[in-house]
Structure 1
Amino acid sequence: MKLYKLTTLLCLCLSAPSWALSTDTEQPIYIDSDNQELDIQKNIVTFTGNVILRQGSIDIRADKVVVTRPGGNEGQETIDAYGNPATFHQLMDDGKPIDGAAKKMRYETAIEFLKMTDEAILIQDGSEIQGKVISYKIDEQKLVAESGEKKRVTTILQPNQMNQKKK
């Protein structure tokens, strides 16, 4: 699985100079849950109940995680995480954390696309982006945050980050 791309792209969303711990992608993926269900014919694995996914410093927590591999093709996985909210945490090479949350996170490995839906938020170094939907196209390094009904996208930039970017 290419789950490591999920967290790498989240790092890019908030701060291009910060990168995920370079050793994370070299680590095995551990998934703990209360229950696991495998549908071999459909190539779907569903983890439910206090799901914790770890790979190096990457930590994803959700009520449910569904990993789908259409046609059994490696590199074509879709990873869906659901929670109230589903959360993730990762350390950057500079030691600073990046955190995010949404009620639903969907990552499509084949097209390198992440979509966080319902009360989505990304936080790094005190700065944050909030919206109904946050989408990120990894290979193009393009982030789109969308508002919900009667709400607006909110971005909070901390002065220390803005001053560092001017240097």
Structure 2
Amino acid sequence: MLHIIQRARKINFLVLMMALASQSAFALKDDVEQPLNIVSKEQIADFESNKAIFIKDVVATQGSMELHADKAELSRNSSGELQEVKAYGRPATFKQKQDDGKIIHSQSSIIQYLPEKNLLVLIGRATIWQDNSHVDGERIEYNTVTKQLKASNENSQGGRVQSTFLPQELKK
């Protein structure tokens, strides 16, 4: 009987992971083509090293995407392409509207985006959710191209990842 329960939990977890990952596949397609606007109390730019730092009450928007953080760092490679965005907060938050009208939310102490690797990394009390379905862990990695999500939790909650989903939300 225990084996059947454990197997059902694994199947439920996989269904949730696929549902959350597939939702990001439907992000508004023109968001990345929209202007990037960043507002903060202080901004520091180092043109020699292609870095910009935004400090205190950082709000960044691009299309339907919205980031809130205490501090954000942007860096570009030698070709001028975005190399990394790193946001810090208590927590830093990110949300984006999907083509189906639903909004995906995430929050963590650090939000790192590596566009060259198509990787979004949430570090420190990380949570990603849509409606009432969510995944919590110490670290969540999401590949925006392969739509694969990996959650781990080695530091808190006894080293476990927690997931909750409502089957009726997955049907939508």
Relative to its length, the structure with more helix (as a share) is: 2
Conservation of the 8 A alpha-carbon contact between 1:75 and 1:110: no
- Equivalent position SS for 1:16: helix
CA RMSD of aligned residues (A): 1.9
The answer on 1:134 being equivalent to 2:148 is: no
Identity of aligned residues (%): 32
Q: Pick from 161, 166, 169 the counterpart of residue 158 of structure 1.
A: 166
Instruction: Out of 124-133 and 19-28, give the one that drifted further.
Output: 19-28
TM-score scaled by structure 1?
A: 0.83
Instruction: Out of 44-53 and 76-85, give the one that drifted further.
Output: 76-85
* Gap runs ≥5 in structure 1: 1-11
In structure 1, the residue matched to 2:4 is: none
- Equivalent position SS for 2:168: helix
Separation in 1, partners of 2:31, 2:48: 31
The structure having more radius of gyration, on CA atoms, is: 2
1:76 deviates by 4.8
Conservation of the 8 A alpha-carbon contact between 1:75 and 1:109: no
Match runs of 1:120-131 below 5 Å: 120-131=126-137
1:73-97 residue CA offsets vs partner (Å, 9 max, x unmatched):
2335111000000001111112111
Separation in 1, partners of 2:151, 2:99: 26
Q: How many residues align?
A: 152
In structure 2, the residue matched to 1:8 is: none
Letter in 2 for 1:55: Q
1:82–1:65 distance in 2 versus 1, CA, 3 Å: same
Separation in 2, partners of 1:92, 1:99: 11
1:15 deviates by 4.5
- Equivalent position SS for 2:80: coil
1:138 deviates by 2.5
TM-score scaled by structure 2?
A: 0.81
